[in-house]
Amino acid sequence: MELRVKLASQSESRIPLISHFNTASLSSIVSSNVICFTAESVFHPLYPAEIRVVEGQPLFASPAHLVASQAVKYLGFNTEDADYVMGTESSLECWERLHQTIEAKGRGLEREQSWWMERRQKAIKDALTLLFEQHPPLLRALLDTGDAMLVYCARFCSMETELSIGMRESDLRAWLYTVDISSKQLLELCTRPMAFRPSYLGGNRLGLILMELRREFVLRGAFPHTLPELPISVDVILGTDSPTESMMVSDPFDILCPDNYTALWINPLFILAKEKKDPELMNIASWVKIAPRLITVDESRINEVVEELLKTNGKDNTYLRSVPSEDMRAVFMKLTGMLRSTLSEVDTYHNDMQALSVEVNRMQVIRRGLEDTHEREKRPERAAAGRDRFPDRPRDKSPIPSLLGMSVVPPAPPQSIIPRRERDYKIPTRRRSPFGDERRRRDVERRARSPPHRNNDVRSPPRRKPVTSSPPPQPKPPKQPKPADRELSDGEIVSSDED
């Protein structure tokens, strides 16, 4: 019993599976945000971006190729194994062949232990440093994460125990929320040896390496706004909800395998849900992804099916029962694309018709305006108002009598003055009535027949009112003095003469 207690007690003398990582500089600046990424992200060594170690040497197809080349040299692979590992351009195949060879052929306990504990982490950091230095858009994506904690999400396995967190992103976030662990506490847990961590919790060493590189680039003076932006979405940059969360590095990975979407493995969330017997946690832990639906990429096959459908106009669909579901999905997408293009063409035609209608209306307005102008120009010219009332009346040019007894003849208009054109006058719409002129003529005739006024009319002078003399002014009676002890009434003022 004492031996069991002794072996179960925590001791720092145990041999760790990975070298110690100094997180003093990271724990002080890490924020409460947690950003998860997968092996499909641009931050993983499997990202197919070419890098060059020394100028003049050949390029490596990916950072994983550089890590594999250093493993080949350090572990002493023979020529055959080295050619097998480095003989592919696919980073995923190179990574898989490397771990297969290490697992199949032992290279010595001390050398392999040194590789897993220290050398592999250093090789990954060097490869990622070259990746970000030679590809500024990828460095911009790393710096855009700010001070968040980076977590590499993948399933728990023996070879990737210290690199990943050992959980899917959905399981990790549910576990952090349930146990109420902050990002700084999670960082401290990841730096512990595996024996002192919660069961099946990984070391997340790849996330810590990326955080350390991010800090180093910031100290060098790299700023995100000075670097080109990576023209892809955030989900693609992080590889969110990727089937690579179920990847085993020592086995071939098939992205279309249903097991990568439906497989479950033990993790801290499963253990917590089992201990608490919480059905909600168990549902979250047992959640599986939906496998993607395959679509045929053979364009010739799809075009044949679409042409056959267009010929029969959809009346004969019996042969479609023999078409595979992958081909039917591709046919559906093809027809949907054709329908969308047709709708866009219809919208274009509709816009053209509206523009043409507006132009026709404008031309009609212009035509009507021109017609009105031509009609006004073709109308006959008429005299101005009042000029044709007495056409036969001669103008009286008799001399004007003067006070000096001399007749004054009005001066004739000079010949240089050009008479106004009759079209300059406004033409009245109706003739004025001669009622006023006739009335004026009758008044003149009546005055001529009436006798003149006589100058010897005797008029009586106006009567004047008799003047009456006003009575003489009477003197005012003197005021009687008031007693001094009399009380004044409201508003009464004592004058100076009374005082």
| pLDDT tens track for 154-183 | 998 888 889 999 999 999 999 999 999 999
Q: Is residue 323 part of a domain?
A: yes
pTM over 0.75: no
Residue 182 within any structural domain of the chain: yes
The total of other beta-carbon atoms located within 10 Å of residue 48's CB is 14
Average the pLDDT over 432-452 and give the result: 64
**238 and 175 fall within a common domain:** yes
Q: Give yes or no for residue 428 having a pLDDT over 60.
A: no
pLDDT value at residue 425: 47
- Contact assessment for residue 139 and residue 227, using Cβ atoms and an 8 Å cutoff: yes
Helix (H, G, I), strand (E, B) or coil at 439: helix
Question: Same structural domain for residues 342 and 287?
Answer: no
Question: Whole-number mean pLDDT of the chain?
Answer: 80
Phi/psi of residue 294, each to 5°? -80, 150
* Domain edge (last residue) among 247, 264, 292: 292
Per the CB < 8 A criterion, the answer to whether 104 and 60 are in contact is no
Evaluate whether 76 touches 63 at the Cβ level (below 8 Å). Answer: no
Q: Is the pLDDT of residue 244 over 60?
A: yes
Element of type H or E holding 339? helix 325-378
Check: CB of residue 79 under 8 Å from CB of residue 275: no
Q: Are residues 243 and 341 in the same domain?
A: no
Cα(387)–Cα(383) distance, rounded to whole angstroms?
Answer: 6
* Residue 495 resides in a domain: no
Give me the mean pLDDT over the 237-247 stretch. 92
Give me the mean pLDDT over the 186-198 stretch.
89
Distance between CA atoms of residues 224 and 218, nearest Å = 9
Give the amino acid at 341. S
- Cβ 43 vs Cβ 135: under 8 Å: no
Write down the residue that tokens 């023209």 correspond to.
231
| Residue 108 to residue 72: CA distance in whole angstroms | 14
Tell me: do 326 and 189 sit in the same domain: no
**CB–CB of 230/43 below 8 Å?**
no
Q: Are residues 225 and 311 in the same domain?
A: no
Residue-range definition of the domain harbouring residue 222:
23-42+147-205+218-292
Please indicate, yes or no, if residue 116 is contained in any of the structural domains: no
CA 438/CA 416 separation, integer angstroms: 37
Per the model's pLDDT, the better-predicted residue between 84 and 9 turns out to be 84
Contact of 39 with 206, CB cutoff 8 Å:
no
Mean pLDDT of 210-226: 93
Q: What is the pLDDT of residue 18?
A: 67
| 164 and 274 belong to one structural domain | yes
Same domain, 278 and 308: no
Q: Are residues 248 and 348 in the same domain?
A: no
The enclosing H or E element of 36 equals strand 34-37
Angle of the 136-143 helix axis to the 205-220 helix axis, nearest 10: 100
Q: Given 274, 292, 310, which residue is the final one in a domain?
A: 292
**For residues 305 and 323, is the Cβ–Cβ distance under 8 A?**
yes
Same domain? 164 vs 189: yes
Which tens digit of pLDDT belongs to each residue from 346-405? Answer: 999 999 999 999 999 999 999 999 998 988 888 776 655 555 555 555 555 555 554 445
DSSP summary character for residue 479: P
E-strand stretches of 203-308: none
Mean pLDDT value of segment 69-74: 93
Structural domain count, the chain: 2
d(CA 34, CA 145): 10
SS3 for 399-419, per residue? CEECCCCCEECCCCCCCCCCC
What number of CA atoms fall less than 13 Å from residue 164's CA on the CB side? 27
Least confident of 11-25, 182-196, 416-430: 416-430
Domain identity same for 283 and 170: yes
Confidence (pLDDT) at 138: 96
Torsion of CA 88, 74, 122, 56, to 10 degrees: -60
Let me know whether 328 and 182 are in one domain.
no
183-190 and 205-220 helices, crossing angle to 10°: 110
User: Is residue 90 in some structural domain?
Assistant: no
Considering the domain boundaries, does residue 416 fall inside one? no
How many CB atoms neighbour CB 260 within 10 A?
19
Whether residue 260 lies inside any domain: the answer is yes
The size of the chain, in residues, is 499
Q: Which of 244, 271, 292 is the last residue of a domain?
A: 292
Q: Say yes or no to pLDDT of 204 above 70.
A: yes
Q: In terms of pLDDT, which residue wins out, 91 or 322? A: 91
Asked if 165 and 186 count as a contact pair (C-beta separation under 8 A), the reply is no
Give the chain's end-to-end CA distance (angstroms, integer): 131
- Looking at the domain assignment, is residue 476 inside a domain? no
Note whether 253 and 223 are same-domain residues.
yes
Instruction: Name the CA dihedral angle for 426, 429, 433, 437, rounded to a multiple of 10 degrees.
Output: 0
Kind and range of the H or E run holding 152: strand 149-152
